[in-house]
Amino acid sequence: MLSWSGPTGQRGRHVEGTCAAVTGAAVPTKAGAPADVVGAGAAVVDGLTAVVAPVGAGAAVLEDRAVALRRWAAVGVAVAQAAAATPERRTVATSRAGMRLEPGTVAHPSSHRQIGGPGRRSASRIAVPSVSALVGATLVMSCASTRPVVSARHARPDHARAVTTTTATAPEATTATTAAPASPVTPATTAPTAPPPTAPAPLLVTRLAGVGDAAQVVAVVASGYGTTVATLTAYQRQSGGWQQVFGPWTAELGYHGFAPPGQKAEGDGRTPTGSFGFGFFFGVDADPGVHFPFRPVTGNNIVWDDDPQSPLYNQWVDDTSANPGANPEPMDNTPAYDYGAVIAYNTSPVVPGAGSAIFLHVSTGGPTAGCVSIPVDELLQVLRWLDPAQQPRIVMGPAAAVTS
């Protein structure tokens, strides 16, 4: 039987995925001499050696099995015809006799028989089968795999001898480089242009009526005539214009709110509307250090004349030396009159019954009889700031009545 070495080096063993294929070549040799072909079976016929060489994993033929079968059938026919033309029985020699095995090539053992004659080497012989047997051997060596293979003409040539060596080469290690995800590119944007700063609203003092030449102004402005609460703000005129120096603070008004201009009357519980100057300052307590003349309240003898029929109407009176009229207002009133400033309302000329005793004084926490009051700490700041040389004015009334 035909015996040859597969990729595993064992008789008849086949490794899946590494099927052996066959290839053939005619190698010239001396007549009758066995071929010394490493790793292949050889059929010697009249000086031609038909080499049957297994090709392992990694080698292949481009032809498909049908083409291979046709080629090997032709080879078988040629060998059979050559054998029929000679009386001698042709032999097929394996490469076992005098074979030099290369790494990766293993020859199977087979039955041996000496071929006598001087100068001849020992060789294993097996009978050349018929064409059908050769074709059958080709079918056995054909792989069921349908993988495409490489033609023998593309195989690497060996200049010394035909060698079939299968070398498994590990795939070259590659290092996968994962690029860090690119940071999203933020499109350049043009910062929005800030709108030009709006001019600050003009100070209230610039819209007050009756300021005149005053360099100091105290504004006491309410939302309307019926309210008893107003906002007090103080302004100082500078070389560059007006500057707010105090407030806004909450101020208490008469218990009937503001009276319209010219309508204030004695005892109506309303605060007069308009622009007024200041008279003198006074207090039950000592002078806090003001610029205006200061009159101390020395006792219950100091009163304010509220009698429209009195010749001293709307004046400071010491009842030890003058008649204050009927029902004068005592000035020894604490804490309301601890500190105060006379608002120059109905003073020049004095109009009897138009109202009297209108002061800026210490708040008692509620509406007044017609005066303006603020907390003592705030009041002292204003009193110390006011200067008669600055011709100060106090403008009082609803905003609609005192602004232009």
What are the pLDDT digits (tens) for 201-219?
A: 889 999 999 999 999 999 9
Residue 26 or residue 179, greater confidence:
179
Position 32, amino acid: G
CA dihedral 384, 294, 279, 212 (to 10 degrees): -30
- The string of pLDDT tens digits covering residues 358-387 is 999 999 999 999 999 999 999 999 999 999
Instruction: Write the pLDDT tens digit of every residue in 309-320.
Output: 999 999 999 999
pLDDT reported for residue 195: 79
Provide the b/e sequence for 189-200 (b: ≥16 CB within 10 Å): eeeeeeeeeeee
| Mean pLDDT value of segment 94-111 | 42
- pLDDT tops 70 at residue 37: no
pLDDT in tens, 279-296: 999 999 999 999 999 999
Q: Does the structure show a pLDDT above 90 at 2?
A: no
Residue 338: is its pLDDT beyond 90? yes
User: Rounded mean pLDDT of the chain?
Assistant: 72
pLDDT higher than threshold 70 for residue 66: no
Confidence of residue 262 (pLDDT cuts 50, 70, 90): very high
**For residue 180, what pLDDT is reported?**
55
Q: Rounded to 5 degrees, what are φ and ψ at 291? A: -85, -25
SS3 135: helix
Dump pLDDT digits (tens) for 295-309. Answer: 999 999 999 999 999
pLDDT (average), residues 40-53: 42
Domain borders along the chain are 21-154, 205-402
Does residue 176 surpass a pLDDT of 80?
Answer: no
Please determine, for residue 357, whether its predicted confidence score (pLDDT) is greater than 50.
Answer: yes
* Digit-coded pLDDT (tens) for 179-188: 555 566 666 6
Least Cα distance to 344 among 300, 281, 266 occurs for 281
More confident residue, 386 or 25: 386
* Res 136: pLDDT: 43
Orientation angle between helical segments 131-141 and 65-84, nearest 10 degrees = 150
Query: How does 110-127 read in b/e, with b if 16+ C-beta sit within 10 Å?
Result: beeeeeeeeeeeebbbbe
